[in-house]
Structure 1
Amino acid sequence: MGGARRGALLTDNNLLSYYFEDAKTLYEVFQRGLHASGNGSCLGYRKPNQPYQWLTYRQVLDRAQYLGSGLLQKGCKPSSNQFIGIFAQNRPEWIISEYACYTYSMVAVPLYDTLGPEAIVYIVNKADINIVICDKPEKAQILLENCEQEKTPYLKTIILMDLFDKELKDRGAEVGIEILALQEVEELGRNNIREPVPPKPEDLCIVCFTSGTTGNPKGAMLTHQNVVANAAAFLRSTENTVECTSSDITMSYLPLAHMFERVVQTVVYSCGAKVGFFQGDIKLLTDDMKTLKPTLFPVVPRLLNRIYDKIQSGAKSPVKRCLLNFAVIMKMAEIKQGIIRNDSIWDKLIFKKVQETMGGRVRIMVTGAAPISPSVLTFLRAALGCQIFEAYGQTECSAGCTFSMPGDWTTGHVGAPLACNIIKLDDVEEMNYYSSNNEGEVCIKGPNVFKGYLKDPEKTAEAIDKDGWLHTGDIGKWLPNGTLKIIDRKKNIFKLAQGEYIAPEKIENVYIRSAPVAQVFVHGESLRSFLIGIVVPDPETLPEFAAKLGVKGSYEDVCKNPAVKKAILEDMVRLGKEAGLKSFEQVKDLYIHTEMFSVENGLLTPTLKAKRTELVKIFQKQIEALYSSTQE
């Protein structure tokens, strides 16, 4: 196995690919839910200030079959080559649309706003999507605008969940797009019902597009087995302790377009439990929680931080603060003995209020998608009186690859390998991480690992090696108790012509401390022996810096002045020497640019990281000029 590790719950070397014998695809998972719940409530939704209304498992399955039959009637093929776009917020019709796909072996492709309008065009074309199911007329308008500009030639049909006016239908007709109501497609299917064409475990079920720091979004192709295996491993992790049953309820508010929420829902349906949807406004989530009273609550650290801040700000006076701290200590002592409860004297006195804002019945929380601070996690385990698990993973392994164990109240790690995969740490020599020290790049293998990126063999080969290991790009460390800690990210490292490794971010972090420098991008190439830089000077500090050199004028003029460039370069090199940069790590020449890199001009990601490939594209001419004018 080459140092690979498996979780303790895996009793033999057979990785878990399903939990229930009769639920090996997402289609079967839902059928199992129907029987396990005795056709109980399945999907809940509410109008403002109203109670939840419920659709039963049978109603959902029937509507999925009607919608699927309607799609076939409209020319879709019942095969895993047929991709259907779903462009909507979380709501029952999302699930009905998704299961309409699975009932006839078709593939769901979620679209979501946060990727930006260009990405929507890219995905529709990349996945040859001819039908998109939308929630609101506004989303249909986004798609129509693309059609009007002839950007999406494949798109032929838009199906809308909400009411729309005749004007929209006419506008579609003008560009040859049929706009239909979801109800009429279901009705069409009900009158032309087709036998289900159930998928096989190895068939594709969903193509999940992820936004990267480089270029266009990549479409991760996931099979039924991928998602089912991931859900199975969660069920194995929680069996005999906090296991999920048909009396559980979860709140659906995290985007269904992401795999974390998809896997949570797979767990829920396979047990015949219920899913309630939030109203669509995160500000009303507390009101929805109080009404639904969920027992399972998947969260992201941002939300946990908000709950933590709320409790802390409620304890303003020294007396209250002292009581709060004491209560946390007392509850933590219980947790360390394996007692998790929300009915102690401390709960009644202090924590009841916050527990009730979440409905008062939450027994399991799972946090993922980003790291959570250990102090917040410890505090909330005490305050909320429920199991809080931490998971780690990425879309490419469905959702999770590690999960903390019931009874493990420690923090600062992401748990042990799930029963559906093994994990190894690969040496990253250029960053001094070696598996012999229990450190290295996290690599995953198992039935939850995706099939590759849609129509992108190059990117697929970068992610999955020839032996089937998924390389995550995260650096991990095995802790003595067998859990994994994520300690770093594999950086954008490259080699220079003389074979020296360069970590550009490290160098940029040194240069950014130079007073006249607002932004800096360090670039090198494997056929060149030295580095060059692109610098955007700081409009605040540049005039003063230039004045000392006797240079005056507008920001643009000063930026063009060779003496200013020389002085900035010297200042950066001085800082580099102080920070211990080797001579080959120092830039030899600069290009001075006057416009900031930003999210708007496509040079920064939404999290403000540099899009290195885009920067190289934009500054290609300047980079070549710098290399040709500087002597090697």
Structure 2
Amino acid sequence: MDVSNIMEDVDSYMGYVAAGAVVLTGIAGASVYYAANRPVPEKPLVDLDCQAYLQPGPEMIRTSKFYKDAKEGKFVRYIFEDTRTLYDIFRRGAKVSNNGPCLGWRESPHKPYQWLHYNEALLRAKNFGSGLVALGLEPSPRTFVGVYSQNCPEWILTEQGAYCFSMVIVPLYDTLGPDACAYIIQQAEIGVVVCEDDSKCNLLLDKAPKCLKKLITMKEIRPATNQRAKNRGIEVLRFEEVERLGAAKNNKEVPPRINDICTICYTSGTTGNPKGVMLSHENVVSAVCAVILQLGDHRPTRSDIMISFLPLAHMLERCCETGMYMVGGAVGFYSGDIRKLSDDMKALRPTVSPAVPRLLNRIYDKVISEVSTSFIKRAMFNMALSSKESEIKRGIIRRNSFWDKLVFRKVQESMGGQLRLMIVGSAPLAGNVLTFTRCALGCLVVEGYGQTECVAPITLTVQGDHVPEHVGPPVACCCVKLVDVPEMEYFAVAGQGEVCVKGTNVFKGYFKEPQKTEETMDADGWLRTGDIGAWLPNGTLKIIDRKKHIFKLSQGEYIVPEKIENIYIRSQYVQQVFVHGESLKSCIVAIVVPDVDVVKQWAAENNIPGTLSVLCAHPEVKRLIMDDMIAWGKDAGIKSFEQVKDIYLHPDPFSVQNGLLTPTLKSKRPQLKKYFKPQLEDMYSKLT
């Protein structure tokens, strides 16, 4: 994620110190200011030493303390009697906001946000849904509507329009690639896709399945694209046309039922085709309600504004927005250029924001880099951080302290200056970055853990718990247990094992994939996440490993190292390869054992002398092998984030004798990671 615009703001604020006298003045000033503005600590919502109920029985199931019936093993389904579906949620928002602002956007970087209010959004959504029916779509949960667009008001109007007639939304997104998009359209038999612009239309037209009959475009497209669609038997309509058609027909709404599917969210997957996660209205509503309960007094309200920039194709963003609509809050969409996110936030001044570790990591790294250039800067920064962290440990959350005004003001202003709640998810966040974010932004920052198969949230940290590097207790829509993984020496009796989840947020299965559903969920409804967790003494969960050799990068993308290794091994220069990545890093690296004969022959032809050990240290040899590996990766169609960004050449093969291979000659990944720890750390240090 490119956040250079935010980085520039961070740059500008780090020049706040010029002389040691300022330090002394700052200390004295801070003392006086603090005495005059003594803040009041917030009382934790639960006992921080016991944040979850432990159910009686051998399975050691943990449930939420934020829902009184959780003691009896029940799960929250809703918190408002009249709000049980996503159709209901939008209407409740219109009512409680008294037709307040709902969807915001701006047409150019220099213009202010303009707003679509709830009643107008409801009318336009209903008209659009009516237009879909007029085009021949059946008002039914068996009708799937594709959406291929960046976040914008039309995305939400499409979604709500579909719900007016019980239809199902199927998001498409760029990182899936054209083959996967075509596969999804084919598998779900999608006849209509709402498409953002000309380029996305052409990506779909490249491999359009025969079932695709109509493209509805939000923006103008070129005549050539229109003709190309016609040549394939696909009709192109404008979004406004469908709205006008629907208004003229005025078809009667067919609202969804609680257990109807509302969306099929395709996960990008790790091998093979993506899997379609079927989520019902109750799944999503229960998940959103559980998070709202856990946020307590910090929950969103009708006066809140949220910035929308994480992909709406993923459930984290969808849940955050749904929570805003439920309480009548407003959602403003970023311009579509992540490099201008700070400009959008300054114009919107949001009070609520979702976030991902990659964004926060970039801000943290830039600040640390800047303060490291000067002893005075570093001293001031450390004092500010220490003071704010001390307050957070006492339950004080604020952005009006002396240190906020002197040190952290520019960071806060780069994100609009009004943030009071940030929800972080999608990948692990390093403890030092989380603590910095809480100090610098002066708002409540909670970190969640979840999966698409559970809508999004499984656990969430609670207000008042300042300790980082865990993901909190279970939310009220589910319970969690840990199950033995003996082959990895994790046992539930020791408080470690595979994280398994059961509750009202657990999905209805993979679309048209009953076998994969059975592999993931048992007969009693327990979802096996594949993540290894450990219970901390206070009932919070810490994710410590992955059951399969799959890991997530910091931007949330999954990596299957064996798949990539099987591609790179095709290179004539590679005898063995070990691909490695970490959830706190945004890229992968590799240890490569070169093919001694091929490399020596190339070296001789290019007048490069030396043994294999000498050649492994030669930059031209490294460049040769890495370029060939990347070329093989491109030929195999792997994505850019699946390509290694650096390699280390090792002259000695992995073997059973040196403990790096199993007797069946498979890589022993934990041992390889440990053995090459210095080299792996060195590569990552050069990449940051």
What is the match of residue 419 of structure 1? 476
Give the TM-score normalised by the residue count of structure 1.
Answer: 0.81
9-18 vs 222-231, greater mean Cα deviation: 9-18
2:454 corresponds to which of 377, 397, 409:
397
Match of 1:291 among 316, 327, 347: 347
2:121 is aligned with 1:41: no
Task: Classify the secondary structure of the residue corresponding to 1:476.
Answer: strand
Query: How far 1:213 moved relative to its partner?
Result: 1.5
Whether 2:419 is the aligned partner of 1:362: answer yes
* Correspondence 1:77 to 2:133: no
Cα 1:3–1:539 change in 2 (3 A) is farther
Q: Which residue in the other structure is 1:17 paired with?
A: 77
Whether the 8 Å CA contact 2:179–2:207 is kept in 1: the answer is no
Residue of structure 1 in register with 2:248 after alignment: 191
Q: Is the 8 A contact 1:576 1:586 kept in 2?
A: no
Partner residue of 2:659? 579
Instruction: After TM superposition, give the deviation of residue 146 of structure 1 in Å.
Output: 2.1
What secondary structure does 1:38 align onto? Answer: coil
Which of 193, 213, 228 does residue 132 from structure 1 map onto?
A: 193
Matched, 1:27 2:93: no
**1:581 CA drift (Å):** 5.6
Query: 1:215-242 deviations in whole A, cap 9, x for unaligned?
Result: 0111101111111111001110012x21
Give the letter for the 1:277 counterpart: F
Q: Which residue of 1 aligns with 2:5?
A: none
Q: Secondary structure at the match of 1:465?
A: coil
Secondary structure in 1 matching 2:216: strand
Aligned-residue offset at 1:491: 2.1
Task: Report SS of the residue matched to 2:294.
Answer: helix
Counterpart selection for 1:115 from 169, 173, 176: 176
8 Å CA contact retained: 1:45, 1:278: yes
Deviation of the 1:57 alpha carbon: 0.5
- Tell me the equivalent position of 2:205: 144
Q: After TM superposition, which residue ranges in structure 1, 4 or more long, deviate above 6 angstroms?
A: 544-549
Q: 5 Å matches for 1:159-558?
A: 159-239=216-296, 241-315=297-371, 316-492=373-549, 517=574, 519-520=576-577, 537=595, 541-543=599-601
Do the aligned partners of residues 580 and 119 (structure 1) sit closer, same or farther apart at CA in structure 2, a change above 3 Å counting?
Answer: closer
CA separation in 2, counterparts of 1:39 and 1:477? 46
Deviation at 1:307, TM superposition (A): 1.6
Deviations 1:283-303 (A, max 9, x none): 000000000000001000000
Per the TM alignment, residue 577 of structure 1 is displaced from its structure 2 partner at its CA by 1.9
How far apart in 1 are the matches of 2:596 and 2:438? 45
Shift of 1:135: 0.8
Aligned counterpart, 1:100 = 161
Instruction: Structure 2: state its 5+ residue gaps.
Output: 1-56, 551-559, 580-591, 605-609, 613-620, 626-648, 668-688
Percentage of identical aligned residues: 50
**SS at structure 2 position matched to 1:27:** helix
Q: Is the 1:158–1:180 Cα contact (8 Å) retained in structure 2?
A: yes
CA–CA distance in 2 between the matches of 1:227 and 1:318?
Answer: 50
CA 1:291–1:504 in 2, change beyond 3 Å: closer, same or farther?
closer
Higher relative contact order (CA 8 A, sep 6+): 2
The one-letter amino acid of 1:31's match is R
Equivalents in 2 of 1:246, 1:165: separation in Å? 41
- 1:158 counterpart letter in structure 2: L
- How far does residue 446 in structure 1 lie from its aligned partner after superposition? 0.3
Query: 1:84 and 1:368 mapped to 2: Cα distance?
Result: 27
Q: Which amino acid aligns with 2:386?
A: I
Distance 1:109 1:571 in 2: 49
CA distance, structure 1, for counterparts of residue 578 and residue 468 of structure 2? 36
CA distance, structure 2, for counterparts of residue 271 and residue 469 of structure 1 = 31
| 1:214 maps to amino acid | T
SS of residue matched to 1:71? helix
**Distance change in 2, residues 1:381/1:204 (3 Å):** same
Contact 2:266–2:274, Cα closer than 8 Å, also in 1: yes
Q: Which moved more, 1:373-382 or 1:273-282?
A: 373-382
| CA shift in 2, pair 1:91/1:319, >3 Å | same
State whether structure 2 residue 213 is matched by structure 1 residue 156: yes
CA distance in 2, matches of 1:22, 1:579: 62
How far apart, in 1, do the equivalents of 2:663 and 2:232 lie?
60
Equivalent position amino acid for 2:450 in 1: G
CA RMSD of aligned residues (A): 2.9
Q: TM-score, normalised by structure 2?
A: 0.75
Query: Aligned in 2, Cα 1:306/1:175: closer, same or farther, shift over 3 Å?
Result: same
Q: Contact 2:593–2:652 (CA<8 Å) still a contact in 1?
A: no
How big is the shift at 1:520? 3.8
Distance 1:387-1:540 versus aligned 2 partners, 3 A rule = farther
1:255 and 1:361 map into 2 onto residues whose CA distance is 22
Distance 1:168 1:332, change over 3 A: same
In structure 1, what is the Cα distance between the partners aligned to 2:561 and 2:413? 49
Shift of 1:79: 0.5
For the residues of structure 2 that align with 1:399 and 1:538, how far apart are their CA atoms?
A: 48
Per the TM alignment, residue 211 of structure 1 is displaced from its structure 2 partner at its CA by: 1.3
Q: Rate the CA distance shift 1:263–1:583 in 2: closer, same or farther, 3 A.
A: same
The letter for the 2-side match of 1:274 is A
After TM superposition, give the deviation of residue 173 of structure 1 in Å. 2.2
Contact between 1:19 and 1:235, CA under 8 Å: does it hold in 2? Answer: no
AA aligned to 2:216 is I
Deviation at 1:504, TM superposition (A): 10
How many residue pairs match? The answer is: 542
SS at match of 1:54: strand
Q: Which amino acid aligns with 1:258?
A: H
Secondary structure, aligned partner of 1:276: strand
Separation (CA, whole Å) in 2 of partners of 1:356 and 1:520: 46
3-state secondary structure, aligned to 2:302: coil
Distance 2:561 2:454 in 1: 29
The alpha-carbon distance between structure 1 residues 536 and 266, as it changes in their structure 2 partners (threshold 3 A), is farther
Residues 188-219 of structure 1, C-alpha deviations (whole Å, 9 max, x = no match)? 00000111111011000000011121101111
Aligned to 2:60: 3
For structure 1, which segment, 333-342 or 162-171, has the greater mean C-alpha deviation from structure 2 after superposition?
162-171
Alpha-carbon distance in structure 2 between the residues aligned to 1:337 and 1:319 = 28
